[in-house]
Structure 1
Amino acid sequence: MSIEPPSINHALVLHPGGTFSYSERDIPTIQSDRDVLVRVVATGLCGSDIHYWQHGKLGRYEVTQPLILGHESSRIIVATGSNVDGLEVNDRVAVEPGISCNTCAYCRSGRYNLCTSMQFAATPPVDGTLCTYYRVPAQCCYKLPDQVSFRDGALVEPLSVAVHACRLGGDMQNRNVVVFGAGPVGLLCCAVARAFGAVEEVVVIDVVEERLECARRYGATHTYRMQTIQGDSSNAEQLRSVTELPEGADVVLDATGAEAFLECGIEVLSAGGTFVQVGLGKPSVTFPVGMVCDKEIGFKGSFRYGPGDYKLAIGLLSAGRVQVDGLVTHEYDFEKAEEAFQNVAGRKGIKSVIYGPSIGSNLRMG
């Protein structure tokens, strides 16, 4: 697919205080023989993007200077360094948005997601992908299967988050799995759990009925709407009664970070089970450590994705073992990007995607 490259690098810029502006940035240049220059076609909005816009910070990262948001993207290669193998101009790719140092102990041990020198797109002060052009190392680019559109290619990043979380959950063959949260990552965790062999009970829990209605399309055998998010045992008791989990779940994946969901998840987990914390909420919560010890459960934190997760995510899409049709419910032209942020903040639909500057309909579906 050949395209006429724009001569201007347009960008949507977030300023300290929460205001946006459109500006022109310099077009990035190839700096290494292993670099590639890509044109951004589609970028999905993440909860972290909304958090930086509304609150100006997330954890220890703070917006203190103009910042380009966005890190879930699909792109098309427009230039390559002289030592890039396996990638060519006009290749359609999903791009892993974090660049690790490759030399620290974490990177050398295969846990590069824990690299303390990680430069991650849209994490201050590193700019993200709501722009025309972006430069990345070739190692971060993964070819998209022909049947995966650019729109759905932007979902490879959150799908990789789900793959990483489910791998941390261990062997899911014929296991019972409970997923808290029916947002994009929660639904993808549900789909991946099914693809990994969880063919018994896969229960998705949320407080929003409209999102739960989508969960069965992504592999849920049961859904449960929590009527209250207060931290008591009634939710766990009712959850067991309306599903076929009298002994509890083998694996719990929490994609919300809500304290009440954490407590309910540990209570509904069977003895010896595994709890994986995928989503982030308050930095400190009340934690039922006595129950964790009594059940001798494994509690694991999940952070982004690591070696093999992107490749496996694309493999699941290519083989049709994970379907993402319908996950993107809202699509926006670049000029309407602020409207997309408002939509996500209002919890409308499931996933919102913003197309890059001057991306026409013919390229979107390519």
Structure 2
Amino acid sequence: MGKGGKSHGEEEHCDNMAAWLLGINTLKIQPFNLPALGPHDARVRMKAVGICGSDVHYLKTLRCAHFVVEEPMVIGHECAGIIEEVGSEVKHLIPGDRVALEPGIGCFQCSLCKEGRYNLCPEMKFFATPPVHGSLANQVVHPADLCFKLPDNMSLEEGAMCEPLSVGVHACRRANIGPETNVLVMGAGPIGLVTMMAARAFGAPRIVIVDVDYYRLSVAKDLGADEIVKVTTNMQDIAEEVEQIHKAMGAGVDVTFDCAGFNKTMSTALSATCSGGKVCLVGMGHNEMTVPLTPSAAREVDVIGVFRYKNTWPLCIEFIRSGKIDVKPLITHRFGFTQKEVEEAFETSARGGQAIKVMFNL
């Protein structure tokens, strides 16, 4: 266990390489020095890392919502790998264990952390959210209690998919999805699809999904949506589209998940949701929105915010292990970890089209 002290550690990790975001549309594989292994940490060899929409935002604009990249940063946060070394106090993991990593570290001192709502911690350190480095690297050091052991029947790629799936699981918990909740999902991108799958796993009897892109809707149908509705980006079409949605649902919409986060999707969600229902805002397409809140409030439609997730990895692993959720069809493209492939992978993800989840195999 690194008895040679500091110099041994330095020697061992100087060959550690990572994908650094250096500027707009500029990613470079460069050395990444790891911090010393603390008593409660694990050093993990990364094996599967997915690309998230936020990674693409950072690459294209150096910002995502109010987070701004001001200095070079290692990218990536959807990840799984193999334990290489554990700190002296770590009892539940040993080298060789396959793990999925939860990327956010709360301070566990503030009132939000103490209430268990650590996803809202103002001091949160989250992989690849500036100024914190991410996990698209050969190795990372991470708190061992945020490394979740994978069962034998689960691949490392499926382990990396626990991160996007966590968003859907947390949203379903926030909205109390169950066997009596008819669900509408706005947006059939990766987060819309995992939210749909999570809602089904939580027992939602009927799910309708809406998007502007027919290919994505066909994927949603293949993955288990009961009905799909193709819409436009035109605000004038909302009334007509709400009618189509109600027809497709065949019943009231109890909960709507807006997984896009635009004026149009949120306005549609508020109109389509039945009186006394809930609208859950998951996507963050617009920083600010103008939406018809007053008529919705008069019908007691609750608007629920969703930010990342908390305590979701054990349930995600169970859903995948048991076969209740199959995330494998979401992985449409795979790349290795070379300079050329890193650039190609991000271009593929940014283009969208038929790419749903782009995955690195390191």
Asked whether the two chains share a fold, i.e. TM above 0.5, the reply is yes
Match of 1:20 among 27, 52, 56: 27
Provide the residue aligned with 1:258 in structure 2.
262
| Structure 1 residues 302-348: Cα deviation after superposition (integer angstroms, max 9, x where no partner) | 001113x1111111111111111211000001110111111111113
- 1:1-366 mapped onto 2 (5 Å cutoff): 8-30=15-37, 32-199=38-205, 201-230=206-235, 232-245=238-251, 248-307=252-311, 309-335=312-338, 336-348=341-353, 349-356=355-362
Question: TM-score, with normalisation over the residues of structure 2?
Answer: 0.92
1:7 offset after TM fit, Å?
6.4
| Structure 1 residues 94-131: Cα deviation after superposition (integer angstroms, max 9, x where no partner) | 00001111111000011000100000000011110111
Mean Cα deviation higher: 35-44 or 165-174:
165-174
Structure-2 separation of matches of 1:258 and 1:76: 39
Q: 8 Å contact 1:44–1:352 — kept in the other structure?
A: yes
1:229 offset after TM fit, Å?
4.0
| Structure 1 residues 219-273: Cα deviation after superposition (integer angstroms, max 9, x where no partner) | 311111113442532211222234413xx30011111112111111111100000
Mean Cα deviation higher: 158-167 or 182-191:
182-191
Q: Secondary structure at the match of 2:48?
A: strand
Q: Secondary structure at the match of 1:233?
A: helix
| Structure 1 residues 179-215: Cα deviation after superposition (integer angstroms, max 9, x where no partner) | 111111111111111111112x200111111111111
CA distance 1:175–1:17, change in 2 (3 Å): closer
Letter in 1 for 2:224: G
Q: 8 Å contact 2:42–2:142 — kept in the other structure?
A: yes
Length, aligned pairs only: 347
Q: Secondary structure at the match of 1:53?
A: helix
Provide the residue aligned with 1:364 in structure 2.
none
Structure-1 separation of matches of 2:196 and 2:66: 30
Mean Cα deviation higher: 179-188 or 215-224:
215-224
Structure-2 separation of matches of 1:318 and 1:272: 35
Structure-1 separation of matches of 2:275 and 2:327: 33
Structure-2 separation of matches of 1:25 and 1:215: 39
Q: 8 Å contact 2:335–2:359 — kept in the other structure?
A: yes
Question: TM-score, with normalisation over the residues of structure 1?
Answer: 0.91
Q: 8 Å contact 1:16–1:64 — kept in the other structure?
A: no
1:171 offset after TM fit, Å?
3.9
User: Where does structure 1 differ by over 6 angstroms across 4 or more consecutive aligned residues?
Assistant: none
Q: Secondary structure at the match of 2:85?
A: strand
Q: 8 Å contact 1:15–1:63 — kept in the other structure?
A: no
| Structure 1 residues 5-60: Cα deviation after superposition (integer angstroms, max 9, x where no partner) | 98611111111333122211224430x21100001111110010000111111222
Structure-2 separation of matches of 1:187 and 1:314: 17
Q: Secondary structure at the match of 2:128?
A: coil
CA distance 1:229–1:316, change in 2 (3 Å): farther
Instruction: Please provide the CA RMSD for this pair.
Output: 1.5
Structure-2 separation of matches of 1:289 and 1:274: 13
Q: 8 Å contact 1:204–1:223 — kept in the other structure?
A: yes
Unpaired runs of 5+ residues, structure 2, are 1-11
| Structure 1 residues 123-171: Cα deviation after superposition (integer angstroms, max 9, x where no partner) | 0111101111101111101111211111221100011111000001114
Q: Secondary structure at the match of 1:205?
A: strand
Structure-2 separation of matches of 1:16 and 1:230: 35
